[in-house]
Amino acid sequence: MANVSGIVKSARKIMRQDTGTGSDELRILQLGWMLFLKIFSDKDKELELMDDHYTSPIPSELHWDEWAGDDEGMTGDELLQFVDRKLFPTLSEIDLSSGSRRAVLVHEVFANNYNYMKSGIHLRQVINKLNEIDFNNSKDLHLFGQIYETFLSELQSAGTLGEFYTPRAVTQFMTEMVNPEHGETVLDPACGTGGFLTAVIEHLKATASSVQQREAIAKNVRGWEYKPLPYMLANTNLVLHDITTPDIQFGDSLQRPLSEYTHKDQVDVIIANPPFGGVVSNNNENNFPQTYRTKESADLFLILMIHLLKDGGRAAIVLPDGSLTGDGVKQRVRQKLLEDCNVHTIIRLPNSVFKPYATVATNLIFFTKGEPTKRIWYYQLLCPPGVKAYSKTKRIQSDDFDDVRDWWDNRVESDYSWSASIDEIIRRDFDLDIKNPARLKVDNDKNAKDYIETINDDLSEISSEVKEIFNSYFRLSEFKVVELGSICSIEKGQTGIKKAVPGSYPMVTTGEERGSHTEYQFDCEAVCIPLVSSTGHGHASIKRIHYQSGKFALGSILAAATPIDCASVSAKYLYFYLNNFKDDVVVPLMKGMANVTLSIGNLKKVKVILPPIEEQEQLVMLMDKCEKLRNTLAKSMADSEEMIRAVLGEILDLDVIHNA
């Protein structure tokens, strides 16, 4: 048996030397497509031997063994050109006429991903390392599955990908409490990297008593994911869990009108951590009944999941505190949940469970559809003794839920558990943010020492983020200088700011905040550039340039630059480039004496440094990390102010003055 852990460590060490995979994030993504193809290709050959009617969708010369299996085979520029110019283009345009689900899977993975490595020599070295793992050996496969899980856990702190990973301890606990049974259909409509799906698969495997039950697992466990990178990682994850053809649909769950989901779409169990803190794009809120329309993704997903459950179906979902309270649409969503379903349990998690990706307060909500709620039980989960807060190095563990497990079937009120009747909840206008009536201070008021420890945590996080930026730094392999008008269509806004009628579409103006309008002008990704100086009086200046996606209106004193070919130009890259270098490349083209303006003609002449699309995407990831660091620094400044006040307040007790 191979030393799987050592092989993977060696592969990652090689990737660190490559300019294209300098960050954990990019190494995970690079390893993702390589592992997917190797495992998929090996399985296809096995299927062809076992089934005379099966034909692999992968052309014979592109099977892993044909071009990568020989350790002395292609390397250097020859290998790099083969992967970039032959492998990816061919597999992304694979023939789908057969209707094969496996063909669709290959197409979707390679049409939406890249080869990030820049050195063909490094690429060959990584390939040779992966060839040392025998994925047809069950022990090797099992060991690698465990290692792959640690890769996915790194997403929680890997730049912009943290939203796609739920800690394994959380997925296991939720699956255990919902207890999916054989023959039941299970769905995660926002499956990310497949954490809930694999938890369900392992749960069902442990109780399977026949070959038929094991084979049925693949058909009954389903996922939906709308972003290509987690979609690829999820499929690889399920293949590593012995699912030959994962049933994961590629697409946005919210993009389809709710009325189009019929009885055949309903399932027995839903386990999910739907995106929260986000705003839906493309006016997907209009796919829902008027009374529940909102831009907040978590609330729309909750309505969708209620609709997708069969009567008697069970659900366990992660929801932020913001979904438990609030009026208007939020209140109506909660009312529907309580009237259509029996919400029997809410587990309140420490704020730090999803740190460092997110620090918002979250809850695990358990409910059954088909009967109204009569009483909700609450349980406040605390960090274990000696752990003040979860972090990148102190993640939540399965054992941390042991007290909840003991309480689950024998519910009594305690310092950490309480309940509320539906009558009380109705009096609160369906507000579910109910505090423990025992008034236990789970999070004591912070004293000076607490703030000092918080600052110390901030500094640790800042150090980690600086390291990530350092590791992600790279230099362009090549670039060209082009004019903005040659790579973008540029169109002036049509909506007068004062004439805008508040509506459902965001409206981009020169201000930092978005307005709204009843009509939209664009439906795309675009960079929005002011055409009028922000200071006037003969002085040329631009305060900010905006990035906007989806359907939106645009103020008449701005212009939108939209990439002509999204396969070669990233709108997000253009945003970072133009916004940060506006004083160098945009402002000098503004003309006028009193009223300084930027003409469309001059805007088209703006010079743009344009690297290959892969490096544009890499630079966007790096800039996202930089912005994350900036936000952490701002938080640290705020914490420092509170610390100063707390220290002074404790040393110089003002009660002395009041009592004098």
Q: What is the mean pLDDT of residues 250-260?
A: 87
| Distances in whole angstroms, Cα of residue 232 to Cα of each of 31, 107, 229, 246 | 11, 11, 5, 11
DSSP-derived 3-state class of residue 223: strand
* Distance (Å, whole) CA 154 – CA 144: 16
- Fold classification of 139-443 is Rossmann fold (3.40.50)
How long a stretch of residues is the chain? Answer: 660
- Domain over 480-610 is classified CATH 3.60.21.10: no
Contact between residue 510 and residue 554 where contact means Cβ atoms under 8 Å apart: no
- The model's confidence at residue 279, banded by pLDDT at 50, 70 and 90, is low
Assign 655 a pLDDT band (cuts: 50, 70, 90).
Answer: low
**Bridge partner list, 610:** 480
Which structure tokens are listed for 575?
A: 């945003």
pLDDT at 127 over 60: yes
Q: Quote the CA–CA distance of 203 and 198 in Å, as a whole number.
A: 8
pLDDT at 440: 44
Pick the residue with more confidence: 449 or 251?
Answer: 251
Closest CA to 42 of 114, 137, 120: 137
68 pLDDT more than 70: yes
- Give the list of residues 6+ apart from residue 310 with CB closer than 8 angstroms, or none: 266, 267, 268, 369
Beta strands in 509-633 (DSSP E): 515-517, 522-523, 526-530, 546-548, 551-554, 558-563, 607-610
Q: What is the CATH number of domain 1-136?
A: 1.20.1260.30
Other CB atoms within a 10 A radius of the CB of residue 138 amount to 10
Tell me phi and psi for residue 648, to 5 degrees.
-60, -40
Contact 330, 371 (CB under 8 A): no
Domain spans, the chain: 1-136, 139-443, 480-610
Q: What is the pLDDT of residue 2?
A: 58
List the single range of 148-162, 296-310, 352-366 with lowest mean pLDDT: 148-162
Neighbours of 134 (CB within 10 A): 15
Q: Which residues does 53 contact at the CB level (< 8 Å), separation at least 6?
A: none
pLDDT score, position 158: 47
Closest residue by Cα to residue 119 from 250, 10, 246, 18: 18
In angstroms, the CA 629 to CA 631 distance is 5
Query: Can you say whether the dihedral through the CA atoms of 385, 388, 393, 398 is positive or negative?
Result: positive
Q: Looking at 36-40, 413-417, 647-651, which range is the least confident one? A: 647-651
Confidence at residue 277, expressed as pLDDT on a 0 to 100 scale: 58
Say if strands 375-380 and 417-421 run parallel, antiparallel, or are unpaired: antiparallel
* Residue 205, CB-side half-sphere exposure with 13 Å CA sphere: 10
Buried/exposed code over 265-301 (b: 16+ C-beta within 10 A; e: otherwise) = ebbbbbbbbbbbeeebbebbbebbeeebbbbbbbbbb
Strands (E), 478-628: 480-483, 488-492, 505-508, 515-517, 522-523, 526-530, 546-548, 551-554, 558-563, 607-610
Mean pLDDT value across residues 365-377 = 97
Pairing state between β 362-369 and 267-272: unpaired
What number of other Cβ atoms are within 10 A of residue 372's Cβ?
12
Rounding to the nearest 10 degrees, give the CA dihedral for residues 337, 338, 339, 340.
50
- pLDDT tens per residue across span 325-350: 888 888 999 999 999 999 999 999 88
Query: What integer is the mean pLDDT of 41-57?
Result: 83
Tell me what pLDDT residue 202 has.
92
